[in-house]
Amino acid sequence: MDVTSPISMWSKLRIGSFLLACVFLISCSEQMDPLLHKANEEWIQGRNHSAIEMFNEVLKKYPTGPLAEEALFRLGEIHHFSLNNSSRSLVYFQEVLQMNREGEFGYPAQKYIAEIAEFGLKDYDQAIIEYQNLINKFASKNGNDDHQYRIASIYYKKQNYEQALVELKILLDNYPKSSWAEESKFKTIEILYTLSRCPEAREQYRHFNLEYSESRFKEDMDFVVASCLEEEGHLQEAYNQFKALEGHYIYPAILKMKLVGIEKRMKKQH
């Protein structure tokens, strides 16, 4: 759930998507201002500083309006993706929002601000605010379930597990068909175990198995439920469930440690 590299995979995918879109726009649009057109071409060719100069010229020529909004937005992208200067890019994205939140670049600017706060600056409290802004101020846009999941994930990273549960429930209540639903239900079970709420975890586990009989999280959940049984003193049941995971669980060393530990505890009881 965490991303550590400033120029991470999502950044590379976004810039790749932009460059493809930009090529299409340049080839198809006859109404684009020639200077803006040239500035975009310069960035596509990797001539970042030349592109910056041209986008700044666009801003002098058009201090407000759609062309100014695009120039500010592109300057933000260049500083973020190409120059690895997230702090400077935030200034440009915030200027886009101040100029016209409802414009074409308002939503993507707000999205970048949230992602930079979380992944670039690791300012988790601010990231939560920015993702909530995406949900509240761009309600008509798709992807609000993604933003809600990011909020829950941030609380998880902050080890505020109670609030993470609240945010996951909001996601499942408001976006029951979300692509994040399955993972959110799994994370709920995992968090309940972390909070030593094993009866609730097992109940959620039963519902989950009925809904997702072939889930990719099955082995992880079996491990969590076995751990609950172990903590509650149901050693033989826990041992059997851990044993059934042999050859399937992604961390065999941890599994072996669990089995050996339970064996020792059971021997002491006899």
| Model confidence, pTM | 0.84
**In this model, does residue 62 exceed pLDDT 80?**
yes
pLDDT confidence band for 172 (50 / 70 / 90): very high
Q: How far is 226 from 220, CA to CA, in rounded Å?
A: 10
Tokens of 56: 């700044």
The mean of the pLDDT values for the chain is 90
Supply the pLDDT for residue 31.
55
CB atoms within 10 A of CB 254: 12
pLDDT tens profile 217-232: 999 999 999 999 999 9
Supply the pLDDT for residue 140.
86
Supply the pLDDT for residue 3.
35
**In this model, does residue 30 exceed pLDDT 80?**
no
**In this model, does residue 175 exceed pLDDT 70?**
yes
Angle between helices 48-61 and 66-77 (to 10 degrees): 160
Three-class secondary structure assignment of the chain: CCCCCCCCHHHHHHHHHHHHHHHHHHHHCCCCCHHHHHHHHHHHCCCHHHHHHHHHHHHHHCCCCHHHHHHHHHHHHHHHHHCCCHHHHHHHHHHHHHHHCCCCCHHHHHHHHHHHHHHHCCCHHHHHHHHHHHHHHCCCCCCHHHHHHHHHHHHHHCCCHHHHHHHHHHHHHHCCCCCCHHHHHHHHHHHHHHCCCHHHHHHHHHHHHHHCCCCCCHHHHHHHHHHHHHHCCCHHHHHHHHHHCCCCCCCHHHHHHHHHHHHHHHHHHC
Residue 163 amino acid letter: Q
Q: Summarize the confidence of residues 36-57 as an average pLDDT.
A: 96
Supply the pLDDT for residue 270.
74
Q: Supply φ then ψ for residue 60, to 5 degrees.
A: -70, -40
Supply the pLDDT for residue 14.
53
CB atoms within 10 A of CB 212: 16
CB atoms within 10 A of CB 180: 19
Supply the pLDDT for residue 29.
37
Supply the pLDDT for residue 242.
97
Q: Summarize the confidence of residues 26-41 as an average pLDDT.
A: 73
All structural domains of the chain, each given as residue ranges with its CATH number in brackets, are 9-141 (1.25.40.10)
Supply the pLDDT for residue 21.
47
Q: Summarize the confidence of residues 170-182 as an average pLDDT.
A: 97
**In this model, does residue 142 exceed pLDDT 90?**
no
**In this model, does residue 18 exceed pLDDT 90?**
no
